[in-house]
Amino acid sequence: MNLNDIKARCEEVGTCWEWQGAYTTSGSPLVYHDGKRTSVRKLVYALKHGRPLPEGQVASNSCQNPRCVCDDHVRGFTQAQMLHRSRANTNQELRAARIAATKRRTVAKLTPEQVQMVRDSPKTNLALAAELGVHHSHLSVIRRGKAWRTFGSPFAGLGAR
């Protein structure tokens, strides 16, 4: 098996090669090679560098596309580097949480009476959003009862049940 055989079993998406074959239960691309199940990325590393992955390293991809096995994106990472990367992912999650918080503050444009009206109204989110001049996704958040409770204003709690 060579890199072209691997590439032939992928779909090219941008500069990534997305593996169309099997995956492990934890989501790593998997291939049968020499009668054994092996990590596609490990194999790609070995084919590209002409030697196996160094002991103690993990073959992973710098693009972080979970399906990608592109030889230009697959690198050997030490455990310490992998740990650093998972911390970086946690930072991304924090950023996503901050964006969600900003969206919730947008909901605070509504008065407590309007929030109550949204919760009691039989109208659809789309129809109400048009009336109130907010995005309909804000109304679905209000109706799930999450947004109004969480921001600090003199009215906080008025709409919460």
Q: Which two tokens stand for residue 134?
A: 């907010």
Name which of 44 and 110 has its Cβ closer to Zn ion.
44
16 belongs to the binding site for Zn ion (CB under 5 A): yes
Look up residue 68 and give its DSSP letter: B
Shortest distance, CB of residue 70 to Zn ion, whole angstroms?
A: 5
Residue 32's alpha-carbon distances to 5, 22, 43, 75, in angstroms, are 12, 9, 10, 21
- Judged by CB under 5 A, the stretch of 10-18, 46-54, 91-99, 134-142 that binds Zn ion is 10-18
Whether residue 95 contacts residue 81, with contact meaning beta carbons closer than 8 Å, is answered with: no
The smaller minimum CB distance to Zn ion, of residues 31 and 110, is found at: 31
Q: Least separation, in Å, of the C-beta of 74 and Zn ion? A: 8
Q: How far is CA 60 from CA 40, 49, 87, 117, in A?
A: 10, 14, 16, 51
Cβ 76 to Zn ion, closest distance in Å? 15
Residue 6: CB minimum distance to Zn ion, A: 13
How far is residue 147's CA from residue 150's CA, in Å, rounded to a whole number? Answer: 6
Shorter beta-carbon distance to Zn ion: residue 4 or 102: 4
| Residues in region 40-99 near Zn ion by CB under 5 A | 63, 65, 68, 70, 73
**At a CB cut-off of 8 Å and minimum separation 6, what does 84 contact?**
none
Q: 61 vs 125, which CB is nearer to Zn ion?
A: 61
Which residue in 68, 49, 52, 60 sits closest to 84, CA to CA? 60
Question: CB of 124: closest distance to Zn ion in angstroms?
Answer: 41
Q: Which residue, 70 or 110, has its beta carbon nearer to Zn ion?
A: 70
Residues that bind Zn ion (CB under 5 A): 16, 63, 65, 68, 70, 73
